[in-house]
Structure 1
Amino acid sequence: MGENVTGPLLSDRRFFQECLNLEYEGMQEVKASVLKEDFCGARKAMAAYIRRTLDPERFFTIPYEAPENIYKFPEESDEDACRRICRHTLISVGVPCEYGEGKPVDWKANPTYNGYREWTWQLNRHNDWKLLAHEYRKTHNRRLAETAAELFTSWVRQAVYPGDCPGYSTDCWRTIECGIRMGANWPYILFTFYNTEPFTDDILIDWYKSVWEHGERLSRNHMTGNWLIMEMNGLAQIGILYPQFILSGQWLSQALGSLEEELDRQIYPDGFQYELSTGYADVVVNNYQRLIEVAKAFGKTVSEGMLEKLAKACELDVKLMMPDGCVPDINDGKHRNVEETFQCRKRIFPENKTIRWITEKFETGKPDFTSIALPWSGFLVMRTGWTTEDSWALFDAAPFGKAHQHEDKLSLLFYANGKLLLTEGGNYAYDTSEMRRYVLSTRAHNTVRVDAKDQNRLKNYAWKEEDIREKADLKWKLGPVWDYGESNYREGYGENPCPGTVHNRRVFFNKSQKEGKPPFLVVVDRMASDEIHRYEWLWHIDSELEAVQKGRISFHEIDAAFSAGEAEVIEGREEPEWQGFKAVGTKQGMYRKLPCVSIKADAGQIRIVTVLSPCKGLSGRVHKVTASAMPEEDSVVISFEDGTEIAFREQEIIQTV
């Protein structure tokens, strides 16, 4: 496409003769002009029709939703951010770009030091425009409407519709951005500004032409996974909010049908979306909710089946919830507050008892479980109760996610003493940095490496439709004193992973609090191979290191005792490979150092027992753990600093839980 081509590509002739249903109620004047091929008159009549028929009172019954991934300067208010936007200083993925007041915005620019493509892509979601609209509704400041008109005009001229061009080869028209624009941001912007003086007839016609081009792209060039949900939400909203389009009914039907099918295709029977990311599970539900609320406001219906399946997906948050009221950031996940999420979900599920328990302390909605297994998605959640003072642990025996995966099978998280003490590397910016590679790798998780090599399920990964109905490789039993979970990793390690080394992990969560000891974890790992390997156990501890001793490492808030191997604590190391970091946000540069316990042993067959015991003063302090390194043995003796011991056999607990 030539450099001098500007958008929208739709000519007046094609738009008015082929894209609009001229028989639609109220379109008589538009039709009369089109029949005379008076397209100047048709533009004027169409703009008048838009201003006459758009119904903002109906649209704004839907509560405002702040744009996802909106970035502002620290301490910057919405009002200050809008003044900045009016000066054409825009921020994407945390990086500002000063175009200059009165100067055009380059929608294909990338000011990042490393060419981070998300900067350009996320700029083209138009979060800033929505912020202008929200502030305008509060202040009616004309300059905000003028800026929105300027930004739209510059964008629609530069961002030329690419037809069937693959999404990743475009700066402005990835289908995920198309879905977000149509399903989250543009409707709010249009219903705010359509009747303001800066939104001229020409702007309104170009807006509708561009929306048509979005509909064509979303209906023909959609993707899979969470992208598809965003794309179909956007397409469905075009079908609802632009009923004058001749294809609006077809697009709405296509989108609703696809969204109905995807609930069965993407959601495991236990409620987790198949990417197994707490961030994208929420993205999926959120996009369904956006559509449901628009449909309700404009007199459209969605099926009861869709609502029932969606409610089950919502309840995943409670199953996973930590004592701080947040879900953990599993895979490319997000440490997200459940009550805040459910305040929003309550709008579409006002009678859901679980949601009401979270948002209103509605006691009849309190779960009838504490610990719970997710048999299909493969997570075991162990907890002592539902208060902020309780302890919580999560065992990851999950299959490899459909997207946004980390190489972390058999990893563990442990929340105690009001803190996620056993943590992971977290989620980081989607760039090509060492930190991004680190958080994706086994190095950043609490599991085992072999010969300095990571798990590599991605290498031979292929999703099959029937996988959504397959249960995970997870055994578990839940009881009043002990919870138990077990799984295996056998897919190989390194660049060319070959099966041959099997990692079996058993997790025992002691909840008894006997003699005042806090709940603690006992982790039994068995490594099996016909060859000698160097095994490395990793434990990422978010606490201040106190002492490193043989068989025990003490932190301020937790002890880690182990029955075999030599240990060191690594923190903030970059050579020969990154280790000992934690992401503190998804913007580039947002990470900090974190102590990582590394325990190494050379063996073919070996059993090692690790005890992770939170401590307050002397209570819970572990002196040592004694266990045979022979894989066939199953006895464990835990000696505490107060002189007490706990001795058990693995099979006894498994059989008696």
Structure 2
Amino acid sequence: FRDKWDKKPWVECSYLAYSASFHKRTHKHADDFTFEWSELGQRILVDAGKFGYEKNSVERLYVESTRAHNCVEIDEKDYSRYNHDIFGSAIEAWSEAGDVKLVDSFLFRKRFFDTRHRRIVLFKPGKWLLIIDHLKSPTKHKFTQWFHFDPNLHLNQTIDSIHADLSPENRVWVTNFGDNEKSEHLKAQFEPRLQGWISVEPYKLEPNDAIGFTVDNSEEHTFATLFSISKKEGNNPQPIMLKSNSAGKYIRVKWKTPEGNAEDIIYRNTNESTTLLINDHEVPVTTRYKNH
């Protein structure tokens, strides 16, 4: 999702790239459902790059890993990249019709995890980005929703807020809606494993801020993490509600914006219909197929 090419100046533009495909093993990282996001001329959320092509180097293994991307890591293991697990595209539904954009993806991660994973991305360019992950398995797992910030940004975490300054005037807030989640803020970690690194230049790693939200010993969980842009003197967003059904096909998220308004998102994706309500207004959604 991006602004039109003729929009100027670029510093006012929005950009979100989302990846939910596996067509061949070549160049594939363990990064299903990852994304990169830029606003106000600044990269905000990024992945770790490529480093180099030495297959067994610690740095190369890290940048290929699930935890080095904006993904959900399961049991501290990487997603499958075996040819037998090629799935094509996992995108089931999307919408570009209104001010809020949507992409909805689903995978049954049979190998290693036996976990059904749905990621819903909701994006209001220039305003906010909401990442929802619903995971369900017959066995218990450790789930971690990872996010990685551009190395030019500095992530600040206090008791009641997480934020990074984009400019002298603007700030991005990180708001987590989940219950019983532990947050972990890492940068330039070596042991027990690499985390909080990015390869901007070939064969070089530099530190960047990574934050993970984790639940342990869980069969089912819904993550919802909101990234909001506002003026630095504004208030941080306040979560009001997170609801989801046992299949992750009904999601409702509601919060108070830094400006004091309420955002209320209801999304249903069933075999019969797919609907998106933004503050009680229905937005058209295109569906691709149902494979589960």
Scaled by the length of structure 2, the TM-score of the pair is: 0.79
Match status 1:475 vs 2:93? yes
Partner of 2:225: 610
Q: 1:500 aligns with which of 110, 114, 133?
A: 114
* Structural mapping, 1:341-490, within 5 Å: 382-386=1-5, 387=7, 388=10, 389-431=12-54, 432-458=56-82, 460-461=84-85, 473-490=91-108
1:267-278, aligned counterparts within 5 Å? Answer: none
Superposition pairs of residues 230-379 of structure 1, within 5 angstroms = none
C-alpha change, 1:402 and 1:454, in structure 2 (3 Å) is closer
Per-residue deviation at 1:529?
0.7
Residue-by-residue CA offset, 1:298-348 (whole Å, 9 max, x unaligned)? xxxxxxxxxxxxxxxxxxxxxxxxxxxxxxxxxxxxxxxxxxxxxxxxxxx
Partner of 1:96: none
The alpha-carbon deviation at position 650 of structure 1 amounts to 1.8
RMSD between superposed Cα atoms in Å: 2.4
Of Structure 1 and Structure 2, the greater strand share is in: 2
Q: Assess, with a 3 A threshold, how the Cα gap between structure 1 residues 471 and 449 changes in structure 2: closer, same or farther.
A: closer
Question: Percentage identity across aligned positions?
Answer: 21
More helix by proportion, 1 or 2?
Answer: 1
Residue 503 of structure 1 deviates from its aligned partner by: 1.2
8 Å Cα contact 1:409/1:489 also seen in 2: no
Q: Does 1:646 align with 2:247?
A: no
Relative contact order higher in (CA < 8 Å, ≥ 6 apart): 2
Cα deviation code 1:488-520 (max 9, x no counterpart):
23234xxxx345111100111124xxxxxx321
Letter in 1 for 2:94: W
| Letter of the 1:478 counterpart | E
| Residue 288 of structure 2: aligned partner | none
* One-letter code aligned to 2:72: V
Is the counterpart of residue 569 in structure 1 residue 185 in structure 2? yes
Matched ranges for 1:117-266 at <5 A:
none
Q: 1:395 to 1:471 in 2, by over 3 A?
A: closer
For residue 521 of structure 1, report the CA deviation from its aligned partner: 1.0
Higher-Rg member (1/2) = 1
How far, CA to CA, are the matches of 1:427 and 1:607 in structure 2? 30
With structure 1 as the length reference, what TM-score do the two structures score?
0.37
Q: Rate the CA distance shift 1:566–1:625 in 2: closer, same or farther, 3 A.
A: farther
Aligned equivalent of 1:594: 208
Cα 1:573–1:499 shift into 2, 3 Å: closer
C-alpha contact 2:90 2:106 (8 A) present in aligned 1: no
Structure 2 partner of 1:555: 164
- Matching residue within 237, 241, 249 for 1:622: 237
Residue 459 of structure 1 deviates from its aligned partner by 6.6
Cα distance in 2 for partners of 1:426, 1:390 equals 23
Cα distance, 1:548 vs. partner? 3.5
Cα shift at 1:613: 1.7
Counterpart-to-counterpart distance in 1, 2:188 and 2:83: 28
- Mark the CA change 1:618 to 1:385 in structure 2 (over 3 Å): closer, same or farther: farther
For the pair 1:656 / 2:291, whether they are aligned, the reply is no
Q: Residue 491 of structure 1 contacts residue 499 of structure 1 at CA under 8 Å; is this kept in 2? A: yes
CA distance in 2, matches of 1:434, 1:548: 32
User: What is the match of residue 155 of structure 2?
Assistant: 545
Kept after mapping to 1: 8 A contact 2:165/2:232: no
Question: Which ranges of structure 1 fall in alignment gaps of 5 or more residues?
Answer: 1-381, 512-517
Distance 1:436 1:428 in 2: 6
Confirm or deny: 8 A CA contact 1:618 1:641 kept in the other structure.
no
